[in-house]
Amino acid sequence: MESAEVARRFLAFFERRGHTVVPSASLVAEDPTLLLVNAGMVPFKPYFLGQRTPPAQRMTSVQKCVRTPDIDEVGKTTRHATFFQMLGNFSIGDYFKEGAIPYAWELLTTPQSDGGFGFPEDKLWVTVYEDDDEAADIWHTKVGIPLERIQRRGLADNYWHMGVPGPGGPCSEIYYDRGPEYGREGGPVADEDRYLEVWNLVFMQSQLSAVRSKVDFDVEGDLPAKNIDTGMGLERMAAILQGVDNIYETDTLRRILDRAAELTGAVYGRDARADVSLRVVADHVRSGTMMVADGIRPGNEGRGYVLRRILRRSIRNLRLLGGQDAGLMHELTAVAIATMGEQYPELVNDAATIHTVIDAEEESFLATLRTGTAIFDTAVQETRRAGGTTLPGEQAFKLHDTYGFPIDLTLEMAAEQGLTVDEEGFRRLMAEQRERAKRDAAAKKTGNLDVSVLDELLTGAGGRVDFVGYEHVTGEARLVGLLVNGASVQAAGEGAEVEAVLDRTPFYAEGGGQLADQGVIRLGGGAVIEVRDVQSPLAGLIVHRGVVRNGEAQVGDSAYAEIDVERRRAISRSHSATHMVHAGFRRALGESAAQAGSENSPGRFRFDFTAAGAVPPSVLRDVEEEVNAVLADDLDVRAFHTSLDEARAMGALALFGEKYGDEVRVVEIGDYSRELCGGTHVHRSGQLGLVKILGESSIGAGVRRVEALVGIDAFRYLARESVLVAQLAEQMKARKEELPERISGVVARLREAEKELERLRSAQVLAVAGSLADGAKDVGGVAFVGHRAPDGTGADDLRRLAVDVRGRLAARPAVVMITGVPKDRPVVVVAVTEGARERGLKAGALVGVAAKALGGGGGGKDDLAQGGGSNAGAVGEAMAAVERAVGAA
């Protein structure tokens, strides 16, 4: 039974029993304490806490999850994985143990021909919490499991809570007996390798207060409504139903693993180390694909760093398997999209964008590997010069932390050089970094308090703040909530910084790339709140952030809200222009040019999109010309609400990684652009006036940014450009259209003049070569030349002079030392003839002597070496030190 069929049967079973099927939430968690959704119940947490009203009392889902605390164990065992899918059924104050237990048993034991999973009844064992007689009795008397297959366990195994004050309760786990070949008899308490957990049923029945650990907490009392939360790992179920030993041999992961083996020439099952790498690649490619599909981009912090680490571990393990070429990740990502696409069709629709992001990260990391290898080689040289055989932990950590160089690669390359690595020092520094990260995360953790306060504000607004800003720029309202320093208050005086909630508002909350409105709220009691920012921290809640300018704001006051109309109009022009530029780039570059972010400011906007490389200037010009032609057509701009399915059917663009409900708002600009959007827009395209694209640049692997002006700001920019061009034309004594050619000619002549000056300067430097050779000093039978070139002489000229003088002295044992100060920092070059090398004199060693005196370092070959330092005043001392070293040889 394939994985997609396991998920389909699970959802269909519970849908037939009155459960609402809830689509998987994005991997980007709404919970501010989580980077990523790491459990099936996370999207349902507000319902369990009573903070939001659930869409139904009975729900079921297949939730995408990513869990990374044990990422280093992935591949080493057959149990650990970063991405997994959790099947769950949920009851919010509806059925409890008496319903959840029989449902689970029925689905597991119903024959596959009748829509179940077909588990033999005598293969199933269950555990219950040690004091949960009720669950044990249901399993025995209602379901019919013999008492000897019902085992009781303590808090550590069979009690669930969220780790913070809130709901908790005992749980009952269902295990499948894989047979004696997997371990000893005795049930789950004896061997959890043989008896494999397949389903966990959590019975939320208690309100917990203080929670100190998994097994140490206080029970405040019973919950007002009892809830059910269950979790069944799809990958583990698939392994059992497909008759394979572990999750890596199930259909979705095995296809990626086999393709990785084919591309690298590895054979799964032959070599333990290769098997580990193949499992890492299979898991991480799938995880990375799913994360990119949810709008996450590789970065150096937060969830972006998680994604980057996952992708780079994939690339690194492909290298270990022998895959040195670029493009391997593209091949494997295609397999991941194909295998997961049946369950998640958006993967197929967004395949071009997913490939662009992952391909760019692969290219970037391969470049990182090249850079890191050069840094590694330098570290090896420094270690050897110091007479050591162990690469310091600080160097290994720097390679890892600064250059993204994996520690296992450092270990491998060090071994190839006959060196070891101070792993203990590296692990210590890593542990310190993790501890800092934990402290930072703890500092950011808000628990449930802040959410509860915000939820109280939402309740005060009647469950939802009515946004009237599409039709109105002013409006009457009532002040239903105030926060000062995050705490709810009834009143706030003059000068107080507040967060104010109205029951209805024309103010647009920042979102979808559009900046928030600004303006004022005038209260019935005479107070005025100057609104500087507007946010929506919870769905349906709009919070106005600002300062009480005069009077005292009091909850319950009548209010009159006024937005800054000119600012709104300017921002709306920018937002409509962003839609049109997006459409223009998709026409020019194809569907892979998917929006990856935007910011719509008054008169100016930026638009980020996925692209494999820089956009040619000709494309920028064509898009700009096309967009302005559409503006001249003065197309009608229309916004309307419809279902998500209907919007997609009509070709409306859904922004990559955005979350949408069942009903969506579509914004059309004639037939030119059609996108899902909640922002504000102009009424006709002609109101934009003019769009001027300023240029484009890279902001990360696979993501480009275009910046542009719109309206009067674009006109002012072009007016300034026109004045500048007129001034240049006057100075160059040329017509405007002749300027490019005329300026190009001037620049070409300047470059030629610079080359001629450089040639003359080099000739002047080299002119002294003969006299330097003739004036060589005899130092212990070795001809020694020490010369300081004029300040400003380049390093290349210093090398050429040293080589020229050495050539004139080639018949003798000779050492030539040339120094100079090109850019405030001294440089030294040493050239040694073959006769001098036979006497044991080496350029690299002599440069080291000079560099030490200069306060720096250097190196090179035995015949020619270069170094430098920071103390220009020590050039004479450096020259004397080298001369002494020559005399002592």
Q: Kindly tell me if the per-residue pLDDT of 656 is higher than 50.
A: yes
Q: Residue 32 — pLDDT band, cuts 50, 70, 90?
A: low
Fill in the DSSP letter of residue 789.
Answer: P
Average pLDDT of the segment spanning 412-423: 82
Q: Kindly tell me if the per-residue pLDDT of 335 is higher than 90.
A: yes
Q: Residue 658 — pLDDT band, cuts 50, 70, 90?
A: low
Q: Kindly tell me if the per-residue pLDDT of 503 is higher than 90.
A: yes
Distance set, CA 486 to CA 454, 490, 532, 730, 845 (Å): 9, 13, 17, 61, 65
Q: Kindly tell me if the per-residue pLDDT of 446 is higher than 60.
A: no
C-alpha–C-alpha distance, residues 624 and 619, integer Å: 8
Q: Kindly tell me if the per-residue pLDDT of 37 is higher than 50.
A: yes
Helices (H), 265-301: 272-293
Averaged confidence pLDDT in the chain: 88
Could you tell me if 304 and 596 are in contact, meaning their C-beta atoms sit under 8 angstroms apart?
A: no
Could you tell me if 281 and 318 are in contact, meaning their C-beta atoms sit under 8 angstroms apart?
A: yes
What is the pLDDT, as a whole number, of residue 463? 74
C-alpha–C-alpha distance, residues 562 and 554, integer Å: 18
What is the pLDDT, as a whole number, of residue 33? 65
What is the pLDDT, as a whole number, of residue 449? 37
- Beta-strand pair 58-66/20-21: parallel
Bridge partner list, 528 = 522, 550
Could you tell me if 289 and 337 are in contact, meaning their C-beta atoms sit under 8 angstroms apart?
A: yes
Has 575 been labeled as part of a binding site? yes
Q: What percent of the chain has pLDDT over 70?
A: 96
Question: Which two structure tokens, joined as six digits, stand for 318?
Answer: 């492909």
Range of lowest pLDDT (252-256, 442-446, 451-455, 675-679): 442-446
Range of lowest pLDDT (90-99, 297-306, 816-825): 297-306
Question: Which residue in 456, 506, 518, 504 sits closest to 481, CA to CA?
Answer: 456
What is the pLDDT, as a whole number, of residue 211? 84
Range of lowest pLDDT (10-14, 511-515, 520-524, 625-629): 511-515
Distance set, CA 255 to CA 64, 96, 249, 337, 716 (Å): 19, 40, 9, 11, 57
pTM of the predicted model, to two decimals?
A: 0.62
Q: Kindly tell me if the per-residue pLDDT of 443 is higher than 60.
A: no
Question: Which two structure tokens, joined as six digits, stand for 708?
Answer: 């542009």
What is the pLDDT, as a whole number, of residue 493? 92
Question: Which two structure tokens, joined as six digits, stand for 231?
Answer: 């979790």
In the block, tokens 């199933």 appear at 124
Question: Which residue in 743, 576, 581, 601 sits closest to 668, CA to CA?
Answer: 576
C-alpha–C-alpha distance, residues 785 and 773, integer Å: 7
Average pLDDT of the segment spanning 700-729: 87
Q: pLDDT tens digit string along 389-411?
A: 898 888 888 887 776 677 777 88
Question: Which two structure tokens, joined as six digits, stand for 767?
Answer: 């002119």
Question: Which residue in 579, 630, 631, 634 sits closest to 609, CA to CA?
Answer: 579
Q: Which long-range contacts (CB under 8 A, 24 or more apart) does 150-155 make?
A: 150/125, 150/126, 151/125, 151/126, 151/127, 151/187, 151/188, 151/189, 152/127, 152/128, 153/127, 153/128, 153/129, 153/188, 153/189, 154/129, 154/130, 154/215, 155/129, 155/214, 155/215
Q: Residue 451 — pLDDT band, cuts 50, 70, 90?
A: low
Question: Which two structure tokens, joined as six digits, stand for 807?
Answer: 């050539």
Q: Kindly tell me if the per-residue pLDDT of 444 is higher than 50.
A: no
Q: pLDDT tens digit string along 80-101?
A: 889 999 999 999 999 999 999 9
C-alpha–C-alpha distance, residues 745 and 822, integer Å: 30
The larger pLDDT score, comparing residue 203 to residue 444, is at 203
Has 65 been labeled as part of a binding site? no
Q: pLDDT tens digit string along 761-816?
A: 777 777 888 889 999 999 989 999 999 988 878 888 888 899 999 999 999 999 99
Residue 272: how many other CB atoms lie within 10 Å: 8
Q: Residue 660 — pLDDT band, cuts 50, 70, 90?
A: low
Range of lowest pLDDT (268-282, 317-331, 450-464, 675-689): 450-464
What is the pLDDT, as a whole number, of residue 441? 46
Fill in the DSSP letter of residue 685.
Answer: G
Has 681 been labeled as part of a binding site? yes
Question: Which two structure tokens, joined as six digits, stand for 501?
Answer: 């909630």
**CB-count exposure of residue 47 (10 Å: 0-12, 13-18, 19+):** buried
C-alpha–C-alpha distance, residues 560 and 526, integer Å: 11
Question: Which two structure tokens, joined as six digits, stand for 108?
Answer: 């597991």
Q: pLDDT tens digit string along 99-124?
A: 999 999 999 999 999 999 999 999 99
The string over 789-806, giving b where at least 16 C-beta atoms fall within 10 Å of a residue's C-beta and e elsewhere, is beeebbeebbbbbbbbbb
C-alpha–C-alpha distance, residues 812 and 220, integer Å: 94
C-alpha–C-alpha distance, residues 640 and 599, integer Å: 23
Residue type, 711: G
- Beta-strand pair 466-467/504-505: parallel
Specify which of 265-269, 593-597, 648-652, 731-735 reaches the highest per-range mean pLDDT: 265-269
**CB-count exposure of residue 416 (10 Å: 0-12, 13-18, 19+):** exposed
Q: What percent of the chain has pLDDT over 90?
A: 53
Q: Residue 326 — pLDDT band, cuts 50, 70, 90?
A: confident
Range of lowest pLDDT (8-22, 450-464, 550-564, 565-579): 450-464
Question: Which residue in 237, 343, 324, 337 sits closest to 285, CA to CA?
Answer: 337
Say what the alpha-carbon torsion angle 831, 834, 836, 838 is, to the nearest 10 degrees: 140
Range of lowest pLDDT (36-45, 121-130, 755-764): 755-764
Residue 346: how many other CB atoms lie within 10 Å: 14
Could you tell me if 517 and 469 are in contact, meaning their C-beta atoms sit under 8 angstroms apart?
A: yes
Q: Kindly tell me if the per-residue pLDDT of 347 is higher than 60.
A: yes
Residue ranges with strand state E in 612-678: 637-643, 663-669, 673-676
HEC states along 164-233?
A: CCEEEEEEEEEEEECCHHHCCCCCCCCCCCCEEEEEEEEEEEEEEEEECCCCCEEEEEEEEEEEEEEEEE
Has 677 been labeled as part of a binding site? yes
In the block, tokens 């389903």 appear at 199
Q: Residue 659 — pLDDT band, cuts 50, 70, 90?
A: low
Q: Kindly tell me if the per-residue pLDDT of 822 is higher than 60.
A: yes
Give the sign of the dihedral formed by CA 656, CA 662, CA 665, CA 667: positive
